Amino acid sequence: MKLYFRKYSALGNNFIITHSLNRIDEDTIIKMCDIKLGIGADGLILVKKNPYEMEYFNKDGSKAKICGNGLRCAIDYLKLKKNGSILVDGINYEYSVSKGLITVSLKKVKDIYSHKDQINHLGKVVNFEFVDMIVPHIVVIDDIEDKENLALAIRGLDKYKNANVNFYSKNKINTYENGVGFTSSCGTGSAAVAYVLEKDILVENSYGKMNVLVNKYIQLRSRVNFVFKGVYYV
């Protein structure tokens, strides 16, 4: 089977996008996302037309409810213009496109559930906040040196075992993403941080920049990058 695909990047968060009508099994997704065995990506996106729809899979083959960066890439892949909506996991997400900038609305601020919690890690109490940004997120507002071990410790708690863990300090966000590990950027993670801070933020790294807006909805706005296209043989 031939799979025609395009590879996209949003702030270094990179995706394989295809509109295959056939289901792609977990093993194939893992191989396609593996940089040594396949194309290399943080996740795979399946898109459909009439109506516009998207499914997102992490690089370990697991399905996720949404990916904010991937959503903007899918909108560019589908060559959608101006305003509209795209269906993801049963929910319609509104978008707008203007002069190459893609804006997506994730969730109404008033509908976001969150709660504060803490963990004792290496003799230190670390405070954090859980945020349901469609997918579960943990936000740590602190300068943590050993981010990976703390992320694993929080995810080791049963109630947070599938959560993404975001560290915010000095205007920088580092996200340990479920099914992926640390990524260059995470759209819903950035949205969760902005929600906790209760303000708009600018996320910027060597790959680009993204505005996270806190209005009626939490919104992500940025450009995305088409990297290359090809054919993958299954």
Q: 2-107+222-233 and 110-204: same fold?
A: yes
> From CA 122, how far away is CA 211, in angstroms rounded?
35
Averaged pLDDT, 57-68: 96
pLDDT at residue 158 greater than cutoff 90: yes
This prediction has a pTM of: 0.94
pLDDT given at position 1: 87
Give the model confidence (pLDDT) of 189-200 as tens digits. 999 999 999 999
For residues 232 and 215, give the distance between their C-alpha atoms in angstroms, rounded to a whole number: 41
Average pLDDT over residues 50-72: 96
Catalytic machinery residues:
67, 186
- Helix (H) or strand (E) holding 187, with range, is helix 187-197
Q: Supply the DSSP string of 3-64, one letter for each residue.
A: EEEEEEEETTEEEEEE--SS---HHHHHHHH-TTTSS--SEEEEEETTTTEEEEEETTS-EE
Give the count of beta carbons closer than 10 Å to the beta carbon of residue 18: 17
Domain boundaries, the chain: 2-107+222-233, 110-204
Question: Domain 2-107+222-233 carries which CATH code?
Answer: 3.10.310.10
Is the pLDDT score of 172 beyond 80? yes
Summarize the confidence of residues 129-138 as an average pLDDT.
98
Domain covering 110-204, topology? Diaminopimelate Epimerase; Chain A, domain 1 (3.10.310)
